[in-house]
Structure 1
Amino acid sequence: MRVIDNQTIGALLSAQAGARGDKPALVDGDGKVRYTFGQLNDGARRVASALLALGAGRGENAAIWAPNMPLYLDVAFGCAKAGVPLVMANTNFRAYELEQVLRQTEAATLFVADGAGRPGEFPEILRELCPELADAPPGRLAAARLPHLRRVVFLGDESRPGMFSWPEFLALAAGAEEARVTACEAAVVAEDVFAILLTSGTTGTPKGAMLTHANFFYVAATVSGCLGVSPGDRLCIPLPFFHAYGFGMVLTALAAGAAVVALDRFRAPELLQAIEGARCSLVFGTPTMYVAALEELARREYDLSSLRGGNTAGAFCPPELAEAVIGRMGAREFGVFFGMTEAYCTINRPDDPPERRVGTIGRAMPGMEVRVVDPRTGLEAPAGTAGELCVRGPAVMKGYYKMPEATAKAIDADGWLHSGDLARADADGYCVVTGRIKDLIIRGGENIFPAEIEEFLFTHPKVAEAQVVGVPCDYYGEDVVAFVRLKDGCTATSLELKRYCRERIAIIKVPAKFFFVDSYPLTASGKVQKFRLRELAARMLAEEADRG
């Protein structure tokens, strides 16, 4: 990526528009070009101009509640140029979560789509929260439950009560002085907040992580460099844009001058069709997405000959799964990447040894520091010893929005972000995640890492996925329970899986109970909500006890 003086997202887009204005930036799954870099930059400038005409600007936040769609990028890059931090709301939110997030982040402008599955669902929820929309002139909302929200822009052509339609919103930019937008963009600095991303909700209430332009500029330049992304590449991104991993990969493409091939939502056939139809060279997704893609690939053939690599993140990836992506999907440079909403951390490079690309989460990204510490003492753990993974460097968030206590708890006085993940690092710096501190199972005084059991269960020929949690136990303190999803057409019994485990792993790691499921409770970004599995296991075990 060509180095630019003002390392902001708006300046990055302007630079690529100048260098590659007529080249594709966003491509449909069938290969049709939706935006060139020049068109994307022009759209972003119109959004910035309309925001300024409305009186929005530095000092207030905007929010977007929408699935992956071209207008999402207009809004995101337009806010970047206008210096307005953008809150990226989860498409799984309903009234309670949306109200909570909009109040917490004090969003003054909301961009809202029609829905993410059912037509009209998002405006319907918004009207429930803001009945005042029915009588409010667009741009002059005064809502009791959302006191900061003044403007709602509907991401569609239709007029909605109290909202600007998209054409009405863009009309505000007509006749605006180009110099005003240029000056506003130039006033944005790298340390300004670019986006407020909500933590995934795997543990409860989301928090708003403030990611600066510098954070994302670093990520875009570094990841594209580590993966060798070039202007000729097409990146298949089935991840939601509101997720740090998803939008980070969009910016990775932007930094390299490559094209994004995005899906409106994940479906395995559409993912494989997009790789085939748009001739994608790199693919990014969560482990659950790859499991579904491999199952679909077993049912039908797809031409994936254009695919050379990519990576996975967002959850634990068994080595066998990574090997299957390399072998069956032909992604020979595929590896594992690790990060969280608050920071990008480690990455595998295409030239890493194959066993490390599938068996580890890689080593620290250039410029980042990674260490493993004993959670009890805070001292660095010896190589090969499990402890809490901590990171420091240019990818670490600025903090949680208006949550100083939570920020201080996450980032210590020396700038180390405490991930809450248990990991071990070898002498060369390659890391292996063994689980979350909160997920650690202590059975009879022995520490048990769920990820190790999940990785083992994946070796059973009938098992498609496995999730392991701890449940309270009077005798041992905690016991091990496994939720297993079998491969299509397979059947198995608890006794069969217990015997498989007892013959191959330590007895303390053998799950006391197996529950067979068709799916797992997931966040919209594809992470398994283990706290819900623990609740489900406790309830099912209690019901079994009541039945005697």
Structure 2
Amino acid sequence: MWVPISIGFAVEEAARLYGGREFLVVDDLRLTYRELYRQVQEFSRGLLAAGVKPGDHAAVWLPNGIEWVVAVFSLANLGAVFVPVNTRFKAEELEYILGQSDSSALILQDRFQKAEFLTMVGELCPELSPSLPGNLHSARLPALRTVIAVSPGKIPGSYSYGELFQMARDIDLKPVEGAVRPSQTVSILYTSGSTAFPKGVMLTHNNILRNGFEIGERLGLTRDDRYFNPCPYYHNAGLVDGLLAALTHGSCNVTLPAFDAGASVAIMERERCTAVGGIQTMFTKMMEDPALDRKRLFLRTGWTTGPPQTPRDIYEKMGVTGITNLYGISEASPCCSISDCRRDPLEDRLNRMGKPLPGVEMKIVNPQSGECLPSDAKGEICVRGWNLMQGYYKKPEETAKAIDGEGWLHTGDLGFIDEKGLVFFMGRIKNVVRSGGENISPEEVENFIFRHPKVKHVEVVGLPDEKWGQRVTACIELKEGMEATQEEIIAFCKEKMANFKVPKEVHFITDWPMTGSGKVQKFKLVENLLAKK
């Protein structure tokens, strides 16, 4: 039976129970439960010394790694609120997140892959370099005071990640840790949803910690499992479905700084992983990798997302006998339903998304009337229970639209619940494109493309894609006398937008399917594009 606790207490208890057992493997780096607790204690003291206080909001712009885990668990340990930032974001997107979240601290890596994080921060905050660490005064980001950088060299105006471990070792953490409550906000996770600007989903310690625990229970995780989850930690699929599921069961979480199919196959073999989780796109790429040989894998349980064929392929090609599908949404911490990998029949696990988690209710309603629908009837999926968000940060109207007076979250997702009580997700009612595990707001992409001097009108839609789930597609009408190419539009987007938001294809059209009130019918637009394929 679940007892609500804080993340800091969960880390301490796990260290007591599992001590020298491995908690985390990232490439060739390893971290035990005992070492995790030690580093969290030291970094927590360093954060306090650097001016980060309980209740402060701190953005974390790091790839999967020990630094991400220690930084986030330390912030949670203090009663601060962590704000994960997508490592593929560009400067404008970062500015929005930092500003809207009122983040007073930013913990970041100097660079990752081809992205120069510090350069982008310097563009937003030219005041950083001449500032003293912890004393930034930025015109564009007035709330931001403290920057902590993971970098081999000292960055002017910033604390280095390593130096925080040496700061204020005599601080007594017990009063601070003891004041943290499981019911208080611990994270603000930004999700595009159906609006042009991302919304900050406020989740509590209990929201995400219990969600991880319940997922681990359905997967049958134990202290002997080595659990490969390549999902990025800045998404709940990596943090909750991966890290916290492992933490609450004494398992070892195995991951990579960034997903790569070949590296994923290799590390699963090397670490003799017994559990695996990931989105449809990741599994598709792993199963296409020529090095994959199910005879060299030891996988017994796992989860994925996507159509029934995806878990079936995983069962057949990777030998994951306990594979299951799940349904989740960021506003619900994220998992709502998942099968029991040890007890539920195979066909149910492949063809449905399981039953609701303990203490979670789900129903199907008519999206127009709100009428509750019977078994097997298709409608909007609604969720109620301990896993629901506290709301969208500083967006009370949007919160009221999402959660009704009886506490039901209206997901905007289409599905049904069969006579066995098993959930099936069919697609999105909301106007959102889901590509490679990312929720992408068409309005956000449209608003950016409208900046192009040749564009008269643009509509962004998602077209079905076997690998990505949906591919971002831009339909553009050019201004009279103008000419442009697909390559030109894509290049324009790549300069300022995260790659996953950039259209994968562009169509130039002049004849728009319209409603009687003069609005473009996007579903007709999709139908027309598919008819041309």
Question: Which residue matches 2:472?
Answer: none
AA at the equivalent of 1:260: N
What is the aligned partner in structure 1 of residue 315 from structure 2? 326
Partners in 1 of 2:153 and 2:272 — Cα distance?
35
In structure 2, give the amino acid aligned to 1:154.
Answer: A
Deviations 1:213-268 (A, max 9, x none): 01012112211111110000011011000001110021000000101101111111
Instruction: Identify the residue that residue 428 of structure 1 maps to in structure 2.
Output: 420
Query: Pairwise mapping of residues 111-510 of structure 1 onto structure 2 (< 5 A)?
Result: 111-118=107-114, 121-174=116-169, 176-177=170-171, 180-200=172-192, 204-248=196-240, 249-297=242-290, 301=293, 303-313=295-305, 317-343=306-332, 344-350=335-341, 351-438=343-430
Unaligned runs of at least 5 residues, structure 1: 441-449, 455-468, 470-477, 488-514
Q: Residues 307 and 203 of structure 1: is their aligned pair in 2 closer, same or farther, counting only changes over 3 Å?
A: farther
Over the matched positions of the two proteins, sequence identity in percent amounts to 34
Q: 2:45 aligns with which of 23, 29, 49?
A: 49
Tell me the secondary structure at the aligned position of residue 131 of structure 1.
coil
What is the CA-CA distance between 1:196 and the residue it aligns to?
Answer: 1.0
Q: Point out where structure 2 has 5 or more consecutive residues left out of the alignment.
A: 436-441, 443-458, 469-485, 513-527
Q: Deviations over 1:9-61 (max 9, x none)?
A: 110010011111111111244xx561111110111111211121223212321
What is the rounded CA distance, in whole Å, between the counterparts of 2:400 and 2:71 in structure 1? 31
AA aligned to 2:430 is K
1:200 Cα offset (Å): 4.6
CA distance in 2 between partners of 1:385 and 1:222 (Å): 27
Q: CA deviation at 1:483?
A: 5.2
Structure 2 CA distance for partners of 1:532 and 1:204, relative to 1, 3 Å:
farther
What is the CA-CA distance between 1:279 and the residue it aligns to?
0.8
Say whether the 8 Å CA contact 2:294–2:317 is kept in structure 1.
Answer: no
When the two chains are superposed, the root-mean-square deviation of aligned CA atoms in Å is 3.1
| Whole-angstrom distance in 1 between the partners of 2:212 and 2:284 | 27
- CA distance in 2 between counterparts of 1:486 and 1:127 reads 36
Judge conservation of contact 1:66–1:115 (CA < 8 Å) in 2: no
TM-score by length of 2: 0.81
Cα 1:300–1:364 shift into 2, 3 Å: closer
Other-structure match for 1:63: 59
Distance in 2 (CA, whole Å) between partners of 1:405 and 1:359 is: 36
**Does the 8 Å CA contact 1:195/1:211 hold for their aligned counterparts?**
yes
TM-score scaled to structure 1, two decimals? Answer: 0.79
Structure 1 residues 325, 538: closer, same or farther in 2, change over 3 A?
Answer: farther
Distance 1:151 1:405, change over 3 A: same
Q: Distance in 1 between matches of 2:307 and 2:363?
A: 22
CA distance in 1, matches of 2:295, 2:247: 26
Counterpart of 1:342 in 2: which secondary structure?
Answer: helix
* Large movers: runs of 4+ above 6 Å: 526-529
Aligned position for 1:23: 21
**Aligned residue pair count:** 463
